[in-house]
């Protein structure tokens, strides 16, 4: 019920705009910035942002934006970012996460990494569509929930669709994820997926292939 109630909070169009704005930024967002990004007044933004916090969809931190401290530094600003909690529900109730965790555990014990990666690569190729450049790859990965962001000529993936499993079985699941993305980009001329694990990000990045560099 908590998951249903949390997701229901996003039915309000103002809250949805605010949530979408906050989670697409690469930094914690102040009330002023969120209000401007959503095109609403600051007091209204503050009200709805705190509703999103109450629902467990956003987290807050108080910080002085000026970097100053002591007398005259002003009050700390309230900053917002996406919550690390996951929300999901199904009707009727299903528990695919437990099944996935058990299957991953068996695959890990049986050392089926190679077989899993081959299956993931086939799945990626089956779901692939024409990708001509990094912009097209960004659109494709966004549609699959990776939340890609440009970092120079590299696409860093902010969201891992397999986050819970990757925390419990990192070697197995990250290898599967890389193979899946390799399959998706199999026909992409001059692009490659490679491992580049960083805290808070997906373990894979997409970038121009070295073979495509002049």
pLDDT cut 90: percent of the chain above it: 66
**Is a pLDDT exceeding 90 seen at residue 105?**
yes
| CA pair distance 37, 50, nearest whole angstrom | 16
| CA pair distance 111, 166, nearest whole angstrom | 16
Instruction: Grade residue 7 by pLDDT with cuts at 50, 70 and 90.
Output: confident
Q: Under a CB-based contact definition with an 8 Å cutoff, are residues 143 and 128 in contact?
A: no
pLDDT tens-digit readout, 66-91: 655 544 456 788 999 998 877 776 67
Q: Is the peptide bond before 6 cis (omega within 30 degrees of 0)?
A: no
pLDDT tens-digit readout, 118-148: 999 999 999 998 898 999 999 999 999 999 9
pLDDT cut 70: percent of the chain above it: 92
Q: For residues 187-199, give the mean pLDDT.
A: 91
Q: What is the edge-to-edge ordering of all strands in the sheet holding 29-30?
A: 29-30, 77-82, 58-63
Q: Under a CB-based contact definition with an 8 Å cutoff, are residues 189 and 132 in contact?
A: yes
- Look at residue 74 in the predicted model and tell me its pLDDT: 64
């Amino acid at each position: 019920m908590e998951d249903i109630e949390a997701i229901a909070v996003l039915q309000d169009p103002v809250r949805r705009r605010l949530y979408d704005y906050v989670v697409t930024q690469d930094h914690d967002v102040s009330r002023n910035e969120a209000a401007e990004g959503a095109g609403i007044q600051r007091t209204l933004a503050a009200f709805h942002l705190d509703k999103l916090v109450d629902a467990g969809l956003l987290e807050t931190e108080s910080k002085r934006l000026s970097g100053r401290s002591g007398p005259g530094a002003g009050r700390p600003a309230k900053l917002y970012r996406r919550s690390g909690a996951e929300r999901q529900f199904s009707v009727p109730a299903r528990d695919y996460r437990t099944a996935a965790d058990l299957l991953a555990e068996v695959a890990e014990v049986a050392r089926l990494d190679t077989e899993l990666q081959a299956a993931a690569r086939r799945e990626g190729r089956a779901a692939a569509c024409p990708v001509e450049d990094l912009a097209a790859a960004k659109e494709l990965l966004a549609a699959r929930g990776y939340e890609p962001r440009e970092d120079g000529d590299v696409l860093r993936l902010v969201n891992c669709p397999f986050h819970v499993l990757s925390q419990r079985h990192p070697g197995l699941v990250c290898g599967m994820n890389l193979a899946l993305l390799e399959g998706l980009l199999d026909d992409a001329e001059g692009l490659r997926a490679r491992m580049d694990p960083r805290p808070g990000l997906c373990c894979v990045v997409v970038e121009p292939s070295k073979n495509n560099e002049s």
